Structures are given as structure tokens and as C-alpha cells.
């Protein structure tokens, strides 16, 4: 059975350390160090480290990528825009995974994921060298059937569903909208899985919002960053990651399973 066909089982946690770099960059200098955060996240139980090298380098910088890859033994999930510059950088480092994300407004769907359906030919060509270099390519998209079908057509093996709308509705206390977003995520996780895609999810997840998404049996990996880095201010990064890991395992009915 291929990885994409599996459901249930242990859910992987990718910890996004971008916002450690955001705090570092607020002052310039070297502290806090995202490499140290990546090493700590691995020790706390992260199955992977996620980092987004933005075109404007507002958090992670080029040198961070090399330093993080040298310091961790779990895989790096390198998030990037679909640009020639980023493709060149990814091919230089060949991280385990590359996640294509929108950065500019015109690259986004109405719900914030990558606009794949209107850019299929370019994106199909864009993925080829990354896949040939051995990177597992994923596409960050809204829970939208049209985008998921387009992602499958261009040959992406993995999609990451954008959970931002669900988390925003929860934060606003709009229960009807939250439940509607959650239902859409559930349905689209199942639909993507039926097409043979491996399904990941992330964006905006917190202790309060993670469990229902973690319970979707088709979801294999969650990528979580901003909340964990914020929570680390109060409880420490190790504790924040362990608590998130525990919530994910409980949602999966796997608490206490190594
Ligand atoms: N997944 C993807 C594709 C992302 O771009 C990000 C960061 O924006 C995340 C997950 C993590 O989101 P957050 O930092 O809100 O947890």
C-alpha cells in the first residue's frame, strides 16, 4: 500500500520555525536562533521542520536553510513560491519536501491557497525538476474540489489543505462558519485521498482547533508554527510542542503510543 493510500495511524507533526526568525529579524543580530528552535523542536517530537523562504526574506533567510538542514536529522519541508529563484535554491539544497505556497495576491485562490486551476501548465513544468531531484512536492491549496483536481492533474503527490478559514471562524466565535469550514475540509480530505493524493493540513492551528483536523483519517501530516512559537513565550517551545503532539495523538486515539 502506498503512503498516499494509508489512512489513520500516527499523524506527523511538522513544526514551522519561521516566526523565531521573525523575532530575530525585529532586532537584527542572531537571537533567537531558528536553528536552535529547529533542534529543540526535533527533541520535543517534531517529525519534521518546516521553513518558508519568502521572496522578501522577512523571516527565514538563505543561510538559515543550510544551517537548519545541517543541524537536524528529521526532514526539512521547504516552503516556497513557484518562482525560478526559489526553484534554484530548492535544487541546490534538495530538501526532503518542497511545499509550493502562494505569496502574491494573484497567486491565491479566494480562500488563500495556491491558484492551481488557472496556472496548470506552468505549475506542471515547475514541479518536474523538483520531483526529479527527489523532493516530495506538495501544493498548499484551499479545500476546493477544483483546485484539488488540478493538483492531481499536474502530478503533485501531496496536497496541504489550508486550515486558515476554519481557524479564523473559530477565533471569531462564528460556530456556523467554523463547522461549515470543518465539513469542507473533511469532505475535501476524503476527496483528495480518493484521487490518490497524500493529504496534509495546516495554517493557523492552535490547541483549540487542532483536534478535529487531526481526527481526519486521511490527513497524514500537520504543519504548525505561529501558535507554537507564540505559546513558547509562556510555556517554552518544548512544552508547547509536546502538548500539541499529545492533542494530535489523542484525536487519533493514539495517546501513549510511541
Ligand atoms: N502550512 C503552510 C503551507 C504554511 O505556509 C504555513 C505558514 O504560513 C503553515 C502551514 C503554518 O501556519 P501557522 O504558522 O499559522 O501555524
Q: With a 6 A CB cut-off, is 223 part of the ligand 1 pocket?
A: yes
Prediction pTM value: 0.96
| Domain range list for the chain | 3-251
**Of 42, 79, 115, 181, which residue is the catalytic one?**
79
Q: Are 44 and 244 in contact (CB under 8 A)?
A: no
Measure Cα distances from 26 to 23, 40, 73, 176, 234 in Å.
5, 22, 28, 38, 19
pLDDT at 41: 98
Mean pLDDT computed over 63-89: 98
Compute, in angstroms, the gap from residue 222 CA to the centroid of ligand 1: 9
Which of 61, 64, 12, 68 has its CA nearest to residue 40?
A: 68
pLDDT exceeds cutoff 90 at 100: yes
* Residue-level pLDDT at 254: 78
Flag whether pLDDT at 245 surpasses 70. yes
- Catalytic residue list contains 55: no
Closest CA to 52 of 38, 39, 62: 62
Tens digits of residue pLDDT in 123-145: 999 999 999 999 999 999 999 99
Looking at residues 97-122, what average pLDDT do you find?
A: 95
Residue 9 has pLDDT above 90, yes or no: no
Extract long-range pairs of 137-140: CB within 8 Å, 24+ residues apart.
137/97, 137/98, 137/99, 137/100, 138/77, 138/97, 138/98, 138/99, 138/100, 138/198, 138/200, 139/99, 139/100, 139/113, 139/114, 140/79, 140/99, 140/100, 140/101, 140/102, 140/113, 140/114, 140/203
What is the tens place of the pLDDT at every residue in 48-75?
Answer: 999 999 999 999 999 999 999 999 999 9
Confidence of residue 5 (pLDDT cuts 50, 70, 90): low
Contact assessment for residue 16 and residue 224, using Cβ atoms and an 8 Å cutoff: yes
Is 220 strand, coil or helix? Answer: strand
b/e per residue, 49-61, with b = 16+ CB within 10 A?
Answer: bbbbbbeeeebbb
Instruction: Measure the CA–CA gap between 118 and 164, rounded to whole angstroms.
Output: 22
User: Please, what is the Cα angle at 109 between 50 and 56, to 5 degrees?
Assistant: 50
| pLDDT tier, 256 (very low <50, low <70, confident <90, very high otherwise) | low
**Interacting residues of 55 by C-beta distance below 8 A, sequence separation 6+:** 81, 83, 85, 86, 103
> Known catalytic residue: 162?
no
Question: Ligand 1: which atom is nearest the Cα of residue 228?
Answer: 16
Residue 227 beta carbon below 6 angstroms from any ligand 1 atom: yes
Kindly report the protein residue whose alpha carbon is nearest to atom 7 of ligand 1: 203
Tell me how far the alpha carbon of residue 210 lies from the centroid of ligand 1, in angstroms.
13
Q: Which of 47, 50, 51, 40 is nearest to 10 (CA)?
A: 47
Which ligand 1 atom minimizes the distance to the CA of 205? Answer: 16
- pLDDT at residue number 80: 98
**Residue 3 in this model has a pLDDT that exceeds 50:** no
By percentage, how much of the chain surpasses pLDDT 70? 97
Is the shortest distance between the CB of 102 and ligand 1 below 6 Å? no
The answer to whether 226 is a known catalytic residue is: no
Q: What is the mean pLDDT of the chain?
A: 95
The topology under which CATH files domain 3-251 is: TIM Barrel (3.20.20)
Q: Which of 19, 162, 170, 203 is catalytic?
A: 203
Amino acid at each position: 500500500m502506498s503512503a498516499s493510500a494509508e489512512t489513520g495511524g500516527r499523524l506527523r507533526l511538522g513544526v514551522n520555525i519561521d516566526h523565531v526568525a521573525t523575532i530575530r529579524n525585529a532586532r537584527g543580530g542572531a537571537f533567537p536562533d531558528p536553528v536552535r528552535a529547529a533542534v529543540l523542536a526535533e527533541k520535543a517530537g517534531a517529525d519534521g521542520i518546516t521553513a518558508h523562504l519568502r521572496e522578501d526574506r522577512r523571516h527565514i533567510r538563505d543561510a538559515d536553510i543550510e544551517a537548519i538542514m545541517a543541524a537536524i536529522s528529521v526532514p526539512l519541508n521547504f516552503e516556497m513560491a513557484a518562482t525560478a529563484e526559489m526553484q534554484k535554491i530548492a535544487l541546490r539544497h534538495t530538501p526532503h519536501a518542497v511545499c509550493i505556497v502562494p505569496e502574491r495576491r494573484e497567486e491565491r485562490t479566494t480562500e488563500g491557497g495556491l491558484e492551481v486551476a488557472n496556472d496548470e501548465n506552468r505549475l506542471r513544468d515547475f514541479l518536474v525538476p523538483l520531483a526529479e531531484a527527489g523532493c516530495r512536492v506538495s501544493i498548499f491549496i484551499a479545500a476546493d474540489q477544483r483546485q484539488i483536481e488540478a493538483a492531481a492533474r499536474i502530478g503533485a503527490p501531496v496536497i496541504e489543505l489550508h486550515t486558515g478559514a476554519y481557524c479564523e471562524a473559530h477565533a471569531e466565535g462564528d460556530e456556523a462558519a467554523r463547522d461549515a469550514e470543518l465539513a469542507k475540509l473533511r469532505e475535501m480530505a476524503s476527496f483528495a485521498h480518493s484521487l490518490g493524493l497524500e493529504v496534509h493540513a495546516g495554517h493557523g492551528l492552535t490547541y483549540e482547533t487542532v483536534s478535529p483536523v487531526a481526527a481526519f483519517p486521511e490527513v497524514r501530516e500537520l504543519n504548525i508554527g505561529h501558535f507554537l512559537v507564540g505559546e513558547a513565550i509562556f510555556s517554552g517551545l518544548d512544552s508547547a510542542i509536546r502538548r500539541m503532539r499529545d492533542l494530535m495523538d489523542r484525536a487519533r486515539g493514539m495517546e501513549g503510543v510511541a
